[in-house]
Structure 1
Amino acid sequence: MPVRPPLPDSVSPPSTVNGWVYDDEASWNAHVWTAPDAPQSVAIFDHFDEVAVKAIDDRVQGLHNRAPVATVDAVENDRSASVVRAIDKAVDWMEAISPGAWKHPAVNEAVFDPPPGYELTHYYIESREVIVYYHREGTHEDQRPTGSTTADGLEVTTETYPYLVVKTWRGSGNATVALAPWDYAHETEMVDVRNPPDGCGLDISLTIARDYVAAVIGDDTNPPAVGQANLTAWTQ
């Protein structure tokens, strides 16, 4: 059972605020409001030294799918008072921003438009890197042998390596475009299929991945994919 941040007996979180709906069944140790028609949440977390209000893009995995909204210093001998102040800040934010109107500053919408023949399975935003996994539709992944960190013996095709992985370092912008034989593959199990230019960032690396798919299995996308960058300024 989740443990909610403490509140005085006389205080209850508001059930609705400007279209945001309080979720009594949320699995997090937090007070959570969700957007019924958008994959977004607002949550209040009780950390060691502060109570934090965060807006969350629920389409994305990783700790950095949570964008900070406000913080309140935790009062050790009356933590419930800090949570009440955090709720006030959350309510102010939700009253100003209706569900669907908020955009996570680190989320790239182009990720959600996979190359033709692929489907998005994972989009992670971590502190140091962004990792995107696409899965080739109609294919089945092999099972990783117990203890293995390589995929020796597999011929590298988009069928035997059904995952297309785009990884970008958030600091340098350096990127990898690779195939993987299974989900959550180790670096040693992936095979690079393109060499993105140094510092190209996520927009370009996603476009290079789409360009690879177009060359290998074809691409009849019309109109052009969402957010795909122009490659004419880059060399591969």
Structure 2
Amino acid sequence: MGVTPDIPDGTPHEVNGWTLDPEPYNGLPWFGDDGRVSVLVSASISGNVYAKVNDERASGAYEYLLGDGDESYSLERAVSEVVGWMERNDPEEWHHPRLEPSAFDIPEGYSLDIYSLGKQKTSIRYELDDCPEAVRVVRIRIEGYDSTDNWTVEINRTPITRGHGEEIWDPEKGTDLLDVLARVRRVATAIEANPSTVTVPDRGELDIEQFTSNAPTPSQPSSGQMELGHFGGEA
């Protein structure tokens, strides 16, 4: 757990497109103009100081600028080094190396429920905004390991599906996440256009071919734009 430190004297509120806004976090965060990325300087209860840069659209999408819990950094030194980093790095140009931009091209009629980067595993989940009466929730989940491009695609349709979702596609190992997401958008479009495709079959009867063989063409991607939230923390 972090604590909100006092702002050192002389700390700039604006640096090269980054603006200090302490409200969302325990710490000293600067945000890019569109709120997509942030830089956070924080201290633990024991006084250890760290700093990281974070993509606000996903959980765990950060990189440390100063080592986690490195006691050799005072708050003043940490702020000074982070200000120097922001002076050299435009917020619009920083991107987390493990994030797939097309994941934010959310299928029409859906919300991005989860985009989570764990230490090894990645999870992306879309949720249908308006569910048919027969189900309470329809979610499509892509999960796997981006280091090896080993993915699975599942659908959860409560109450037909209880607990874990139903696997509908096991892409060949090495299939790029970009290609997996392109096919998932076709699945999502087919379900949104005809919800009975997920309400009529019993558990275990779903297959990706029934969604993609005659699926309507997904709408034009939205260039990765979405409503931003603060996901914070590790997955």
**TM-score, length-scaled by structure 2:** 0.70
1:202 maps to 2:177:
yes
Match of 1:148 in 2: none
Q: Deviations over 1:50-76 (max 9, x none)?
A: 532211111112xx311122348414x
Of 15, 24, 27, which residue of structure 2 is paired with 1:26? 24
Q: Any conservation in 2 of the 1:53–1:68 contact (CA below 8 Å)? A: yes
How many residues were matched structurally?
A: 198
Match of 1:147 in 2: none
Q: Which amino acid aligns with 2:110?
A: Y
Q: 1:86 to 1:180 in 2, by over 3 A?
A: same
Q: Which amino acid aligns with 1:220?
A: T
RMSD between aligned residues: 3.2
Q: 1:38 to 1:23 in 2, by over 3 A?
A: closer
SS in 2 for 1:105: coil
Note the C-alpha offset of 1:205. Answer: 2.3
Q: Any conservation in 2 of the 1:194–1:208 contact (CA below 8 Å)? A: no
Q: Deviations over 1:164-203 (max 9, x none)?
A: 1111223432111111135xx98x4301111211232422
Q: Deviations over 1:77-133 (max 9, x none)?
A: xxxx62211111110111112232211212111100123443322211111211111
**CA–CA distance in structure 2, aligned partners of residues 226 and 20 of structure 1:** 22
Q: Which amino acid aligns with 2:171?
A: P
Match of 1:13 in 2: 11
**CA–CA distance in structure 2, aligned partners of residues 192 and 110 of structure 1:** 22
Q: 1:3 to 1:52 in 2, by over 3 A?
A: closer
Match of 2:216 in 1: 219
Q: Counterparts in 2 of 1:103-142, with a 5 A limit? A: 103-139=95-131
**CA–CA distance in structure 2, aligned partners of residues 65 and 224 of structure 1:** 22
Where relative contact order (Cα < 8 A, 6+ residues apart) is larger, the structure is 2
1:165 maps to 2:141:
yes
Q: Which amino acid aligns with 1:203?
A: L
Q: Any conservation in 2 of the 1:128–1:169 contact (CA below 8 Å)? A: yes
Q: Which amino acid aligns with 1:51?
A: V
**CA–CA distance in structure 2, aligned partners of residues 205 and 38 of structure 1:** 28
Note the C-alpha offset of 1:224. Answer: 6.9
**CA–CA distance in structure 1, aligned partners of residues 137 and 4 of structure 2:** 43
SS in 2 for 1:189: coil
**CA–CA distance in structure 2, aligned partners of residues 66 and 118 of structure 1:** 25
SS in 1 for 2:78: helix
Match of 1:145 in 2: none
Instruction: Name whichever of 84-93 and 40-49 sits farther off.
Output: 40-49
Unaligned 5+ segments in structure 2 are 194-214, 225-235
Q: Which amino acid aligns with 2:183?
A: I
SS in 2 for 1:181: strand
Runs of 4+ in 1 over 6 A off after TM superposition: 224-227
**TM-score, length-scaled by structure 1:** 0.69
Q: Any conservation in 1 of the 2:131–2:138 contact (CA below 8 Å)? A: yes
Q: Counterparts in 2 of 1:223-234, with a 5 A limit? A: none
SS in 1 for 2:80: helix
